[in-house]
Structure 1
Amino acid sequence: MRNAIFALIPALMAAPAAAQSNTGITEFTLDNGMQILVREDHRAPVVVSQVWYRVGSSYETTGETGLSHLFEHMMFKGTERFEEGEFSEIISREGGRLNAFTGRDFSAYFEIMAADRLPIALELEADRMANLQINAEALSTERDVVLEERRLRTEDRPEGRFGERYSAIAHPGTGYAHPIIGWADDVAGFEVEDLRDWYQQWYTPTNATLVVAGDVQPDEVHSLAREYFGDIEAREVPAVHTPDNLQPPGERRLIHRDPQARVTQLRMGYEVPSFPTAESTRDPYALLMLATILDGGDGARLAEELVRGSGVAAAAGASYNPMVRLDAEFSLFGVPAEGDVDAVETALRDQIHRLQQEPVSAEEMERARSQMLADHLFEMDSVFYQAMQLGMLETTGSGWARLNSFEENVRDLTAEDIQSAAQRYLRPEMLAVGVMKPADQEDEG
């Protein structure tokens, strides 16, 4: 009955011993295979509850792109017990917030509540894990919503059109080559059975991680998780093919002329290791520091030398995210100050060559190290971000324990590590280059 949601928490059963880290993270596993991660943070009487499923757009094959994202919408359409909209009404009435997101490697659903309302969030999430209703009317509505979302965010925007084309050449042969929202023809063709099959394949306790962060006690969370999720049937998930890592595809180039583009834009991306694909545990941290040296604040090299120095670029940047399931991308971008995109590309290549040929100075290393640690500590001040980090690390195969070792790994980096990573990974045969130009712009020279 619905009133059971608001019942007092029953007397908690004694919990078995669990793995606990030195930073307030405790791990449990239910008998049905569901993983529980608890991060204690008692500064405020608030709790963040997130259920992560190991499935996202990179799990999709030809003809089913966008299925993960569309299914995220369907998770709000009601269960055998709660009608459409009732889930959100209950959370709102209890003073909480909820939402969901789909990535290339995961789908996640979250609630932010007063700490004593955690049982409500867990009971509702368990219900839709086990009893989701999928019907043709709901699918028709949400399919139209997703197609409109795709039109507004991608098809009607030059940056969106360019981004999809760039991804196709930057990630050949992997599930990262197609958009998370999917190709329109695939989304338009999904039927009820496609969604039901996806639910049966991936939405099982054996493929899920519950992350709870905030003003909670680990044993209490474990007991609640057993109460609400423990009786859900475990099912095996399909085997997932992982493409070979770091096979040099050769340098690839894209020139996209767009009638609505107003400025020329340049994107460059090197295929590099991620946390789970790196042979050396030091390499992802070295690549993170490389990105910080290039684009870690106003004093970083790209802003200092390409924007304010030579003035060749109106804007320039670099980024790297190691928390992905497959190989990652070390990304560079630039906007020419006067339309000369070749000059910006040359300047960015020169920056990479310099990192390969010259060790970074001790002063620059310390500035980048301080920036990375400060950013990390600032982000960890957020309970929601703490939960996000745990869920993302675990669902991508990186392992949640990396959260404990981030500071140590950053402090241990040397100039030799940085130079070695630049030499081994930022190579032309691992590079994709994309240029978006206004359709009426003439080529230089």
Structure 2
Amino acid sequence: MKFKTRLATLLFTTTTAILAQEVAFEEYDLDNGLHVILHQDNAAPVVTTSVMYHVGAKDEDPSRTGFAHFFEHLLFEGTKNIERGEWFKIVSSNGGQNNANTTQDRTYYYEVFPSNKLDLGLWLESERLMHPVINQIGVDTQKEVVQEERRMRYDNSPYGRWQEQMGIHLFKKHPYKWQTIGSLEHLATASLEDFQNFNKTYYIPNNAVLVVAGDINITATKKMVKDYFGPIPKGATIERKHIEEDPITQTIKASYNDPNIQIPAVFAGYRTPKSTDRDAYILDMISTYLSDGKSSKLYKKLVDLEKKALQVFAFNISQEDYGTYIIGALPLGENTLPDLLTEIDEEILKIQNELISEKDYQKIQNKFENQFVNANSSISGIANSLARNYMLYDNTALINTEIEIYRSITREEIQAVAKKYLNKNQRVELEYLPGEQTGK
């Protein structure tokens, strides 16, 4: 049996090594500070153009939250050369697709086009950066869009506000205490000048990385990049605040009542190190061990065998300044939230007090090998990885080397990190309950 396990692992690793070919790229800076990353892959006639800006919810004024996410919407309104409402029509009529997303650390825009439309993708993103039109009609329109998004994803969605509540209690000083959706009141009371100033501060070439990936010619693409983005003036240097949280030294108990649910949930949240810290990678592996799939420890125990929970989950949210590690469950039948938390703690204690088995360790490694391959299996995925690794990790080459970090993690490190971070006196215990909104 051991031989079969080792043979299967060897075959998987060999296959992964064949699939996960090295991603070649070239990177450089324009005179205005825009960082450019080019990746050529002529296997299919498709190209992705993307721009990531180093601005997220954590960069907002505490009295003006929601701005970064708001701009994700607002900067599709139009430019001096793109009439209002025409952006998406231009993209779709040329066989393309586009989207954007925002986190607490960055904002990302991208287009996917047939490769003969590369110049169009570059023009669109240069227009967004150089000639955005930020006027009252656009702001008012997007306020309505964001209000509807808030209602749909947070206020009227089952369990829609658990992460918001966890952030409030885990972070007392740092801007991670609010979510990217921000406050609708802040957006409603903001002036047009507030929005224009936010744009001038953060949407500048020296706060961005442009990635062009796919069926391109490097020399020709460099010329187009220079032509479209070179004339954009460099912005003022951004002054960033580095806010440190006091350690959590005793359990923080909290509750929140959600009228959209009938089954309660319990969440345990731990404040963890920033995404570039080796311990953050180890916590990724711990979350996989505990709840990734039906064979994971928590699922097998609480859902499959003991039938005490409808659902269990554990995940590590890695971010630029701090991470958040979450474990939670929904009870089944007469089982209580404290009962579930006790069962979860038993599994954490096992990790803290003894090494996980070699078999479980190899299973985790196999899963991360598979995730590594899948993350870079498409041109748009590669573009995203290149931008993120440069901007948030200051190491673009991680697209090829990050898997080596996971491969190097030992069972002893998994035990040590569990002991270091996953303790009762270092967490928030959130009971998420049915009923009227009377959170405390």
Query: TM-score, with normalisation over the residues of structure 1?
Result: 0.89
Say whether residues 1:381 and 2:354 are aligned partners. no
**Correspondence for 1:300 among 292, 296, 300:** 296
Distance verdict in 2 for CA 1:333–1:40, change over 3 Å = farther
**Alpha-carbon distance in structure 2 between the residues aligned to 1:328 and 1:26:** 30
Q: 1:430 & 1:217 partners in 2: Cα distance?
A: 52
What 5-or-longer segments of structure 1 have no aligned partner? 1-20, 441-445
Which residue does 1:321 correspond to in 2? Answer: 317
- The residue correspondences of 1:104-115 to structure 2 (distance < 5 A) are 104-115=104-115
Say if 2:399 is the partner of 1:403: yes
- 1:343 CA displacement: 0.9
> Mean Cα displacement is larger for which, 34-43 or 75-84?
34-43
Q: Distance in 2 between matches of 1:190 and 1:302?
A: 46
Q: 1:417 aligns with which of 413, 417, 420?
A: 413
1:156 aligns with 2:152: no
The structural deviation recorded for 1:319 is 1.0
Contact (CA 8 Å) 2:77, 2:84: kept in 1 or not?
yes
Of 361, 364, 367, 1:365 maps to 361
Give yes or no for contact 2:365–2:406 (8 Å, CA) kept in 1: yes
User: 1:129 deviation in Å?
Assistant: 0.5
Amino acid at match of 2:93: R
* Identity across the alignment (%): 27
Aligned in 2, Cα 1:138/1:293: closer, same or farther, shift over 3 Å? same
Match for residue 8 of structure 2?
none
Shift of 1:105: 0.8
The farther-off stretch of 409-418 and 394-403 is 394-403
CA distance, structure 1, for counterparts of residue 385 and residue 242 of structure 2: 23
1:309 is aligned to 305
Q: Distance in 2 between matches of 1:203 and 1:304?
A: 47
| CA 1:229–1:102: 2 relative to 1, 3 Å | same
Q: Which amino acid aligns with 1:295?
A: S
Cα deviation, residue 258, structure 1: 2.9
CA displacement at 1:197 relative to structure 2: 0.1
Residue aligned with 1:356, SS: helix
* 2:110 alignment partner, SS class: strand
In structure 2, relative to structure 1, the CA distance for the partners of 1:251 and 1:309 (3 Å cut) is same
Q: Separation in 1 of the partners of 2:22 and 2:192?
A: 46
Aligned to 2:350: 354
Cα contact 2:97–2:113 (8 A) shared by 1: yes
* Aligned residues of 2:268 and 2:429 also touching (Cα < 8 A): yes
Deviation for aligned residue 1:183:
1.1
Q: Distance in 1 between matches of 2:163 and 2:435?
A: 16
Alignment of 1:29-428 (within 5 A): 29-244=29-244, 247-248=247-248, 250-276=250-276, 278=277, 281=278, 283-322=279-318, 324-338=319-333, 339-428=335-424
Supply the distance in 1 between the matched residues of 2:231 and 2:75 (Cα, whole angstroms): 20
Tell me, yes or no, if the aligned pair for 2:172 and 2:245 is still in contact at 8 Å.
Answer: no
Matched letter for residue 88 of structure 1: F
2:96–2:112 Cα contact (<8 Å) kept: yes
How many pairs align?
415
Counterpart in the other structure of 2:5: none
Contact 1:147 1:188 in 2 (8 A): no
RMSD: 1.9
Question: Are the structure 2 counterparts of residues 246 and 385 from structure 1 closer, same or farther at C-alpha, using a change threshold of 3 Å?
Answer: farther
State the Cα distance separating 1:300 from its structure 2 match: 1.2
Please say if residues 352 and 418 of structure 2, whose CA atoms lie closer than 8 Å, have aligned partners that are also in contact: yes
1:101 Cα deviation from its structure 2 partner: 1.3
Q: Secondary structure at the match of 2:372?
A: helix
The amino acid across from 1:76 in the alignment is F
Distance 1:245 1:34, change over 3 A: farther
Q: Is the 8 A contact 1:255 1:435 kept in 2?
A: yes
Please give the alpha-carbon distance, in whole angstroms, between the structure 1 residues aligned to 2:417 and 2:126.
44
Q: Which amino acid aligns with 1:414?
A: T
Partners in 2 of 1:350 and 1:87 — Cα distance? 53
Shift of 1:390: 2.1
* Whole-angstrom distance in 2 between the partners of 1:22 and 1:437: 48
Q: Any idea what the Cα deviations from partners look like across 1:259-287, whole Å, max 9, x if unmatched?
A: 332101111121111233x2xx3x22221
Shift of 1:211: 1.5
Segments ≥4 residues shifted beyond 4 Å: none
Q: 1:326 is aligned with what amino acid?
A: D
Q: Tell me if structure 2 keeps the 8 A contact 1:147–1:187.
A: no
Partner of 2:9: none
Asked if the contact 1:36/1:222 (under 8 Å) is kept, the reply is: no
Output the TM-score relative to the length of structure 2: 0.90
Unaligned runs of 5+ in 2: 1-20
- What is the rounded CA distance, in whole Å, between the counterparts of 1:182 and 1:171 in structure 2? 15
1:245 Cα offset (Å): 6.0
1:48 shift after superposition? 1.2
Cα 1:259–1:79 change in 2 (3 A) is: closer
Cα deviation digits, residues 291-339 of structure 1 (max 9, x gap)? 11112322111111121122221110111133x2111111112011124
Give the drift of 1:247.
Answer: 3.0
Per-residue deviation, 1:401: 2.3
Q: In 2, Cα distance between the equivalents of 1:39 and 1:252?
A: 47
> SS at the partner of 2:222?
helix
Structure 1 residues 245 and 438, CA gap change in structure 2 (3 angstroms) = closer
Deviation string 1:372-419 (CA, Å, 9 cap, x unpaired) is 111221232122222222222333245322222122122222111111
What CA distance in whole angstroms lies between the structure 2 residues aligned with 1:245 and 1:227?
Answer: 44
> Structure 1 193/154 Cα, relative in aligned 2: closer, same or farther at 3 Å?
same
